[in-house]
Amino acid sequence: MSLHVVIGCGPAGAATARLLAAQGHRVRAVTTTGPTGRSPEPGIEHVALDATDGERLTAAARGAAAIHHCAAPPYPRWASDWPPLASSVCAAAEATGAVLVMLGNLYGYGPVDRPMTEELPLAATGPKGRVRAAAWEQARTLHEQGRIRAVEVRASDFFGPGVGDGGHLAARVVPRLLRGKPVSTLGDPDAPHSWTYLPDVARTLVEVAGREEAWGRPWHVPTEPPRSAREMVDRLAATAGTGPVTVRRLPSAALGVASLFSPLIRELKEIRYQFDGPFVVDSSAYETAFGMRATPLDEQLTQTVAWWRERLAATG
C-alpha cells in the first residue's frame, strides 16, 4: 500500500493516521515532538520535525502518495505562524508530487446569514479567517498552475471520540454532564449549530486523497443537520443515562474578565458570531458527489459517551 504523510497529530491528524494505517497504508506522522510520550501504533511512524522547515518536510514526504495537512499553530499565533507553515507544506507537495489534502474550517467565510456552501466567497475580515482563507488560496493557485495537486476539506466544530480539550462539546461539557452537573456554553445555547463528527473528518480526508475528481476545490465534510448546543447536551445526557442537565450561557462579563488573563479567551472574540446566532454548514455537495453521509447522530452520541467514560476511568 501507499505511504501517507500526516502533518499534525491532534484529534484530526491522529484519527486520519489511524484510519490510513487500518486500511493497510504506511503512515508517517510529522509533529514537533515525534514519538516522545506516544504509545507505538502498528503502521504509524512518528517523526519529529518543524513542518515550517520546507527542506526537512520535503525529505520526510519523499515517496508519499499524499500529504494530509492537519496541523495548526497555537491559536494566538495563527496570524504569524500560518503563512510559513502553509508555504512549507505547499513546497513539499510541489517537490514530491504528493497530493496535498488540507484540513480547513469555516472561518474563511466570515459571518454569513445563510447555510454555508463551498461556493460562498472567502470574505472573512478577522485575522484568523483571513489567514485560513489565504492558505487555501495559495494552494488553489498552485493547483491551477499545475504545480501541485491540492484539495481542502472543511469541517465545522469537531466533537466525538478523540476530541478532548479543544472542542466546544468536549472537556468543558461532557465530563460535567456525565456527572449530571450543569454545563456552560459559549454564545446562545439555543442557536442552530453544525457539529462535525471527528471520524467523518478522517474518512473525508482519506477519501479525497485518492479521488482525482475531488482535487482543485474545497469540500465540506458530511455533517448532520444543525442542532443547538442545548439539544446536543440533552441528547448526550440522555445517551449517557444521566438525565437532563442545566445548560447555561457563559456571561459576556465573565468572558471579558477571563480574557484579561487568557490569550485563548481573547482570541475567541473574532469567532463569537459562530455561537451567537445560527452557524450552519451545507455538506450536500460532497454527499452527492461521493455518496458519503454523516455518521447517524445516535451512533455519534453513543461513541462519544463511551470514549469519554473510558478516558475518565483511565485518568481517574
Interval 100-124: pLDDT, tens: 999 999 999 999 999 999 999 999 9
Q: Is residue 51 part of a domain?
A: yes
257 has pLDDT over 80: no
Instruction: Specify whether 171 is located in the same domain as 144.
Output: no
Contacts for 284 with CB less than 8 Å, ≥ 6 apart: 117
Instruction: Specify whether 144 is located in the same domain as 116.
Output: yes
Find the radius of gyration of the CA atoms of the chain: 19
Q: How distant, in Å, are the alpha carbons of 28, 138, 311 from that of 147?
A: 23, 11, 44
CA distance linking residue 118 with residue 125, whole number of Å: 18
CA distance linking residue 138 with residue 175, whole number of Å: 40
Q: How distant, in Å, are the alpha carbons of 72, 154, 233, 273 from that of 278?
A: 26, 18, 17, 9
| Range in 133-147, 208-222, 260-274 with the lowest mean pLDDT | 260-274
Q: Is residue 289 part of a domain?
A: no
Q: How sure is the predictor about 281, in pLDDT bands with cuts at 50, 70 and 90?
A: very high
Instruction: Specify whether 303 is located in the same domain as 236.
Output: yes
Give the residue ranges of DSSP H helices in the chain: 11-22, 54-61, 78-96, 127-144, 174-178, 198-209, 229-240, 252-259, 263-267, 273-276, 284-290, 297-315
Instruction: Specify whether 65 is located in the same domain as 39.
Output: yes
Instruction: Specify whether 301 is located in the same domain as 210.
Output: no
Q: Averaged over 127-149, what is the pLDDT? A: 97
Q: Is residue 72 part of a domain?
A: yes
The single residue listed with the C-alpha cell 498552475 is 145
CA distance linking residue 178 with residue 174, whole number of Å: 6
Q: Is residue 177 part of a domain?
A: yes
CATH number of residue 53's parent domain: 3.40.50.720
Total residue length of the chain:
316
Q: How sure is the predictor about 248, in pLDDT bands with cuts at 50, 70 and 90?
A: very high
144 and 95 Cβ atoms separated by less than 8 Å: no
Number of domains into which the chain is organized: 2
Q: pLDDT, tens digit, for every residue of 192-224? A: 999 999 999 999 999 999 999 999 999 999 999
Q: Averaged over 60-84, what is the pLDDT? A: 95
User: What pLDDT does residue 54 have?
Assistant: 96
Q: Is residue 287 part of a domain?
A: no
CATH number of residue 229's parent domain: 3.90.25.10
Q: What is the overall mean pLDDT for the chain? A: 94
Tell how far CA 162 is from the center of its chain: 11
Q: Considering 220, 235, 264, which residue would you say is the last residue of a domain?
A: 220
Q: How sure is the predictor about 255, in pLDDT bands with cuts at 50, 70 and 90?
A: low
Q: Is residue 144 part of a domain?
A: yes
User: What pLDDT does residue 79 have?
Assistant: 92
What domain range includes position 52?
Answer: 3-157+195-220
